[in-house]
Amino acid sequence: MEMKALIGLLLLVGCHGVSSVIHSLKYFFTGSSGVSNIPEFVAVGMVDELQFIHYDSNSQKLEVKQSWMDRFTRDDPQYLERNTEILLGSQQSFKAKIENLKKRFNQIGGVHIYQKMFGCEWDDEDDTTDGYEQYGYDGEDFIALDLKTWTWIAQVPEAFSTKQILDENRAHLEYLKNYLHQGKLLDYGKSTLQRTERPEVSLLQRRPSSPVVCHATGFYPDRVVVFWRRDGEELYEHVDHGEVLPNPDGTFQVSVDLDLASVPREDWRRYECVVWLKGIEDILTPLDPALVRTNWGKTGRNTCLTTST
C-alpha cells in the first residue's frame, strides 16, 4: 500500500490543534483516465484546509507550498527526491487500478476517476484523535476503513475482492491503528501549526458616508473573534461581520463593518474595535477619526492604524 510507503510524509505534520477546536490533516490522491488538459495523477496534502504539498504526473515532482516546509527539507535533504519517487509509484499504481476497475465494471473507454482520501483529526486539548482512509471510483464511494472493527467496508459489489485483500493485510491495519491513534505526529509542523500569530488591525473607510471597517489580517489560527463595542458594550445592530479569509502566506484576515451614518463625528471616540485570539491579550482599537485610513485623500493621519507591539 502506498500509504505505508508515505510514512515520512505522514509524520511531517499529523494532526494538530491550538484549542478545543478540531484540526485536520488530509491527503487527496486522484487518478484519471480519458480526461484531457489535466494531469492523470494529482496528490495534495492539506492542513486545516491549507495546502502544504503538491505532486502531479505532469511535473512528476513533489513541491512544498508553505514556508515552514522549507525547514523540514533543509533538515532532510533527500525528502523531496525520496517522496517524489514514492508518489511516482502511486501514480503508476493508480493507473493500473483504473484499468482493473474498468474491467470489473465492464467499462470500455470513457472518462474515469479513482480517488483516495486519508488523514486524521486531533483535538489536542483532550488529545483525542480520529482518522479515515477511503476510496472512490467515478464519483461514488468504493471502499472505506471501519475504525470500530478495523475491517474494510465494500460500498459496491465490485469492491468485495479488494476488501478481502485489504482485510488480510494485517501489517497495514496495524500501521493504520498506530498512525490514526498515535496523536503526536507533529515533529516539524507543530511549531508552525500550533503557533499564534498576532494580527495587524486597521480602521478603513472608503468614503465619508461609508461604514468604518475594522480589518484584522496576518493572524493564525483562523479562530478569531472581532466585534465593535460602544461605551464598553458589544454592538449587534448596524454591524456586518465578514468571513474569515486565507492570506497567501497561510495566515488569515477578516473585516467587520460598522455603519455610523447616524452617529455624530464627535461621538466616534465612544466606539472601539475588539479583536480576540486565544493566546494573546485583547487588541483594542479606539475609533479615532484622525487614525481612520481613507481613500479620498483627506488630511490628517490618513494611514493604516496597526496595533503591533
Question: pLDDT (tens digit, 9 = 90+) per residue, 22-43?
Answer: 667 889 999 999 998 899 999 9
Query: Residue 23 region, left (φ>0) first, then alpha (ψ -120 to 50), else beta?
Result: beta
The answer to whether the CB of 168 falls within 8 A of the CB of 174 is: no
Query: Residue 53: CB partners within 8 Å, gap ≥ 6?
Result: 9, 43, 44, 45, 62, 63, 64, 65, 69
The CATH number given to whatever domain includes residue 43 is 3.30.500.10
End of a domain among 192, 211, 233? 192
Position 143 confidence tier, pLDDT thresholds 50, 70, 90: very high
- Are 147 and 254 part of one and the same domain? no
What 3-state class would DSSP assign to 53?
strand
User: At residue 299, does pLDDT exceed 80?
Assistant: no
Report the C-alpha dihedral over residues 67, 72, 77, 78, rounded to 10 degrees. -110
Same-domain status, 104 and 142 = yes
Residue in this structure with the C-alpha cell 495523477, named with its chain if needed: 41
Among residues 145, 163, 192, the one where a domain terminates is 192
The CATH number covering residue 287 comes to: 2.60.40.10
80 with 227, same domain?
no
Instruction: Retrieve residue 201's grid coordinates.
Output: 488591525
Q: Which amino acid is at 266?
A: E
More confident residue, 221 or 68: 221
129-133, 163-167, 238-242: which has the minimum mean pLDDT?
129-133
At 198, phi and psi to the nearest 5? -70, 135
Beta strands per DSSP E along the chain = 23-33, 41-47, 50-56, 63-64, 112-123, 128-137, 140-146, 151-154, 200-205, 212-219, 224-230, 233-234, 239-241, 245-246, 252-258, 271-277, 283-286, 293-294
Domain identity same for 182 and 201:
no
CB 34 within 8 A of CB 140: no
Sequence-distant (6+) residues with CB within 8 A of 2 are 29, 86, 89, 90, 93
Per-residue pLDDT at 18 exceeds 70 = no
Length of the chain: 309
Average pLDDT of the segment spanning 53-78: 88
Distance CA 258, CA 294 (A): 15
Residues 108 and 213 placed together within one structural domain of the fold: no
Out of 139, 161, 192, pick the residue that ends a domain. Answer: 192
Residue 300 lies in a domain: no
Query: What pLDDT was estimated at residue 181?
Result: 57
H helix and E strand count, the chain:
7, 18
Whole-angstrom distance, CA of residue 11 vs CA of residue 83:
13
Residue 13, H or E segment: helix 7-13
- Distance CA(284)–CA(275), nearest Å, equals 7
Are 265 and 214 part of one and the same domain? yes
Q: How confident is the model at residue 14 (pLDDT cuts 50, 70, 90)?
A: very low
C-alpha cell at 262: 447616524
Same domain flag for 141 and 244? no
Q: Are residues 113 and 222 in the same domain?
A: no
Domain ranges, residue 286:
196-294
